[in-house]
Amino acid sequence: MKKDVKGLSPVIATVLLITMVIVIALIIFLWIRGMTQEAITKFDNENVQLVCGKVSFEASYEGNTLGIRNSGNVPIFRMDIKVIDGGEHFTENIIDVSDAWPELGLNSGGTFSDNTIVFTGEEIVLIPVLMGESEEGMKTYVCKDEGYNLLI
């Protein structure tokens, strides 16, 4: 038996193999890129996550009056308010519930007070939000583990 078959199948196999390697490399690249977070910096290129540990403020909520005083050296751009009622909770931005919040936030020693905020629930958790620089410009960062609890 005589075979007159040309060598086309090794060429196709090589192209398929190269294509598979490129696709797998692209998937790994995108996966690793998705795992890394863009760094937001503040104060001489210090990571904003580390700055969150330096945030210090005092707060009170009495008779529908929310008062906040920045007692630290880190400016607080905004505040997220988490209201806990039983097993449920919801989070609001302070700008959504108050017109009195300073546009540029609370600098060191700055105070905020608003007597028009009404919360119903058992507990309020105030979560500071900082403003920092990134490669894309100014960005906000929520200090997830740095909350201040108030009982209603």
Pairwise CA distance, residues 75 & 109, whole Å: 9
Task: Please indicate whether residue 20 or residue 132 has the higher confidence score (pLDDT).
Answer: 20
| Mean residue pLDDT across the chain | 82
Specify which residues 131 forms β-bridges with: 140
Report the Cα 1 to chain-centroid distance in Å: 72
pLDDT at site 124: 84
Q: What is the mean pLDDT of residues 124-139?
A: 84
- Lowest pLDDT segment from 47-51, 97-101, 106-110: 47-51
Give the model's pLDDT for residue 17: 94
Domain spans in the chain, listed from the N-terminal domain onward: 41-151
Query: Quick one: pLDDT at residue 24?
Result: 96
CA-based end-to-end distance of the chain: 93
Q: Which of the four CATH numbers 2.70.98, 3.40.50, 2.60.40, 2.50.20 does domain 41-151 have?
A: 2.60.40
- CA angle, corner 113, sides to 107 and 118, nearest 5? 130
CA distance 74 to 52: 8
